[in-house]
Amino acid sequence: MLSKIKKELKSLASKKDAQILQRFFKTGKGEYGEGDIFLGIRVPVQRQVVKKYWQMDLREVEVLLKSKIHEYRLVALLILVKKFEQGNEKTKKKIFNLYLKNTKYINNWDLVDLSAPNIVGTYLLDKDRDILYKLAESQSLWERRISILATYTFIKQGEYQDTLKISEVLLKDKHDLIHKAVGWMLRELGKRIDQTIEEKFLKKYYKSMPRTMLRYAIERFSEKKRKKYLIGKI
């Protein structure tokens, strides 16, 4: 099945779209996605492929995940998400462990965002979450992003403490992609749970947090309130 899925994905490739995606996902020298290779297949098309092949063997999915080609890795992750959703507790644990063992291949923001909440977040809903704090302290940009994105699932369930604690860990992070992710999760906390909880956190840290993080976090506030945060007059 592995050779069949690769053949099908190659048949869907677009050189024009590949060039666009390689610029969009910053694959140039020194950029966060340096060296990543794109076939040029849009996500909705990849999801259609996943529907056909999601029952492929986990060992083959892992091989696909280790590919140099971005779409192969994303399809592998979307298959893991589907298998996780359909699986029993034993299968879920196996997929969770496989995911964490292969984070070096989950190495762009779309790969993280489309998989971490569904696999890591969902698996940890009723379990110890210490692993998220280890990931938050990782040298790997992508493991740090996994740590905060996994909490999106908790937010959807009305839980927010881990989001706030991991946000604190990541406040001084140097990378723009972490600033955006933390700000996004804080915004979701305010939107889905309680804006006053978000604001309590922001009032403590807004003067010292990265500007991008703050901008993302206050995106849903009134214009008047946003201006107050941005000029430091809260």
Q: 193-228 in b/e burial notation, b at 16+ Cβ within 10 A?
A: bebebbbebbeeebeebbeebbbbbbeebeeeebee
177, part of any domain: yes
64, part of any domain: yes
Residues 4 and 50 in one domain: yes
The last residue of a domain, from among 74, 92, 114: 114
Q: Could you give the number of structural domains in the chain?
A: 2
Using the 8-state DSSP alphabet, how is residue 104 labeled?
G
Using the 8-state DSSP alphabet, how is residue 126 labeled?
G
pLDDT at 191: 98
Residues 175 and 82 in one domain: no
119, part of any domain: no
Residues 141 and 231 in one domain: yes
pLDDT at 211: 97
Residues 80 and 143 in one domain: no
- Give yes or no for a contact between 28 and 9, defined as CB atoms under 8 angstroms apart: no
The last residue of a domain, from among 114, 149, 167: 114
Residues 231 and 132 in one domain: yes
- What is the pTM for the complete model shown? 0.96
Q: How many residues does the chain have?
A: 234
144, part of any domain: yes
Residues 95 and 47 in one domain: yes
Say which residues have a Cβ less than 8 Å from residue 129's Cβ, sequence separation at least 6.
Answer: 162
Nearest to 71 by CA among 19, 23, 131, 10: 10
Residues 109 and 133 in one domain: no
227, part of any domain: yes
121, part of any domain: no
Residues 98 and 41 in one domain: yes
The last residue of a domain, from among 60, 79, 114: 114
The first and second tokens of residue 101, run together, are 């063992």
33, part of any domain: yes
- Specify the long-range contacts of residues 217-225, CB closer than 8 Å, at least 24 apart: 217/182, 217/183, 217/186, 217/187, 217/190, 218/187, 219/183, 219/187, 220/187, 220/190, 220/191, 220/195, 221/195
Residue ranges in the chain whose pLDDT is less than 70: none
Residues 105 and 137 in one domain: no
Query: How many of the other CB atoms lie within 10 Å of CB of 98?
Result: 18
CATH of the domain at 147: 1.25.10.90
Determine phi and psi for 64, rounding to 5 degrees.
Answer: -60, -40
pLDDT at 234: 84
The first and second tokens of residue 89, run together, are 């507790």
Residues 179 and 212 in one domain: yes
- Give yes or no for a contact between 209 and 173, defined as CB atoms under 8 angstroms apart: no
DSSP result, 146-203: HHHHTHHHHHHTT--HHHHHHHHHHTT---HHHHHHHHHHHHHHHHHT-HHHHHHHHH
Nearest to 43 by CA among 116, 149, 114: 114
Residues 137 and 224 in one domain: yes
Residues 36 and 6 in one domain: yes
**Domain encompassing residue 96:** 1-114
What CA–CA distance (Å, rounded) separates 84 from 131? 19
